[in-house]
């Protein structure tokens, strides 16, 4: 692991960037009523894709009036691989939307918690091409699009929220419409590019 690592989160700008109280709605790795889970992404692109999927935004017109906050969250520098391990489940279980897969994901969390982990890393369910992680490189006065070697991930954390520090990178923003066709929709576990 790097000496420090950032996670990114898009959320309603009117609320804190992490859950600390009960009432969190259900998600891929938690059911309503579970203790709070903190969902972060390995890049802003993944964070926006996760948010689009969760909000069920499909069309560019649906982005009109959107003003969400993008946060950068500092993961503790003393966390090692044992604190934030890569999930040990088949990709089909990570991506599926059915109750049986949810039970397997919750069992994985329970196992990791017993081992003392603070969270887990998993492939994102929000991108159709989960090995495609575009970014840009600048040099000699030009920008070019490149693809990161690392796959796009989500970090699911159950540590106390006060463990994590964050910065609002964008207080009122929206994703670019070109991201919409890259988002894998809820209930669409088998869709391929």
Q: Which helix (H) or strand (E) holds 173?
A: strand 165-173
In 3-state terms the chain splits into helix, strand, coil percentages (rounded to 5) of 25, 30, 50
Task: Report residue 64 as tokens.
Answer: 């009109």
Number of H helices, E strands in the chain: 3, 8
Nearest to 63 by CA among 173, 187, 183: 173
Q: Which residue has the higher pLDDT, 169 or 147?
A: 169
Confidence at 190, pLDDT banded by 50, 70, 90: very low
The values of phi and psi at residue 59, to 5°, are -115, 150
Closest CA to 191 of 132, 130, 122: 130
Find the range with the poorest average confidence among 15-29, 56-70, 90-104, 177-191: 177-191
Angle (CA) 32 36 40, round 5°: 110
Q: pLDDT tens, 95-144? A: 999 999 999 999 999 999 999 999 999 999 999 886 777 788 898 888 98
| pLDDT at position 188 | 66
Tell me the pTM.
0.89
Mean confidence (pLDDT) of the chain: 89
Alpha carbons 8 and 116: distance in angstroms, whole number: 23
Helix (H) or strand (E) holding 134: strand 134-139
* Nearest C-alpha neighbor of 96 from the set 2, 193, 190, 1: 190
Give residue-wise pLDDT tens across range 28-46.
Answer: 999 998 899 999 999 999 9
Average pLDDT of the residues in 16-24: 87
Q: Which of 37, 4, 35 is nearest to 18 (CA)?
A: 37
- The single-letter DSSP state of residue 177 is G
In this predicted structure, the answer to whether residue 189 has a pLDDT above a threshold of 80 is no
* For residue 192, pLDDT beyond 70: no
Share of the chain above pLDDT 70, in %: 93
**Distance (Å) of CA 57 to CA 10, 18, 45, 105, 179:** 14, 22, 15, 25, 11
């Amino acid at each position: 692991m790097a000496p420090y690592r950032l996670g990114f989160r898009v959320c309603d700008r009117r609320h804190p960037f992490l859950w600390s109280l009960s009432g969190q709605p259900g998600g891929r790795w938690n059911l309503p009523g579970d203790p709070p889970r903190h969902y972060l992404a390995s890049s802003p692109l993944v964070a926006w894709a996760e948010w689009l999927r969760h909000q069920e935004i499909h069309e560019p017109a649906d982005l009109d009036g959107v003003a969400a906050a993008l946060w950068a969250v500092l993961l503790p520098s003393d966390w090692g691989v044992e604190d934030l391990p890569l999930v040990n489940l088949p990709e089909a279980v990570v991506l599926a939307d059915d109750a049986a897969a949810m039970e397997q994901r919750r069992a994985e969390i329970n196992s990791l918690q017993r081992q003392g982990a603070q969270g887990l890393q998993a492939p994102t369910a929000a991108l159709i091409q989960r090995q495609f992680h575009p970014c840009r490189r600048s040099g000699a006065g030009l920008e070019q699009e490149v693809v990161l070697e690392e796959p796009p991930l989500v970090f699911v954390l159950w540590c106390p929220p006060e463990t994590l520090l964050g910065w609002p990178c964008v207080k009122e923003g929206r994703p670019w419409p070109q991201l919409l066709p890259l988002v894998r929709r809820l209930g669409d576990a088998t869709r391929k590019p």
